[in-house]
Chain A
């Protein structure tokens, strides 16, 4: 199922409703739902914050494919930014050395099972998958 959202942080409540509706339909457990929702929020807010030279809407689609949930997020009319290549953060740094921010993509990489990025004709397409435990299948 696919839906289009306005490029603004206040779209998050609509996004959460949309995502929860689908994950409930697929009986996805609480733990996997938490990871999927968190990854979607982080990727969406990243698109809103950093792709500032466009006012295009953002597309989110969620499907169940066998024992996994596949999420595709598309940002239109933007510059290329391969999120897989974003720098690693050092979580062992002291409080004084830690930067506020940059945790979002770190969390995405930790919470999902596969992360793919494609850029074609100004379109950034991020695909991630979350493997469901047996109980969800």
Chain B
């Protein structure tokens, strides 16, 4: 089960499990982001390379127009994945 929510003020929250069968849902929402935005990962239980690919694609798009995504609150497992893939070099992570 995966869900993505946008809050007033623009912060985005990812919930549940972002696997290859759920990436379209994330991509659809992130495609509307056109300025620097924080993505809260505190309720994201799992992410695979498909989910990482969506985040990276939108980070590249936003960086090309002078903006960026910032990731906050990943659990230990998600943080490990972000580190193992070098995402800590291309995203600000808190």
Taking Cβ atoms with an 8 Å cutoff, the residues of A that contact B are 9-10, 12-13, 16, 30-31, 34, 37-38, 41-42, 45, 91-96, 98, 100-101, 103-104, 106-107, 110-111
Contact = CB atoms under 8 A, between A and B. Distances in A.
A101 B56 CA distance: 9
Contact of B48 (A94, A98, A104): A104
A103 B85 contact: yes
Contacts of A104: 48-50
Interface residues of B, number: 22
Nearest to B76: A31
A13 B25 CA distance: 16
A91 B83 CA distance: 9
B84 to A, nearest CB: 5
9 closest A-B pairs by beta carbon, nearest first, are A91-B86, A104-B49, A103-B49, A95-B90, A12-B21, A45-B20, A34-B77, A100-B57, A100-B53
B94 to A, nearest CB: 18
A95 B59 contact: yes
B22 to A, nearest CB: 9
A92 B20 CA distance: 24
A94 B52 CA distance: 16
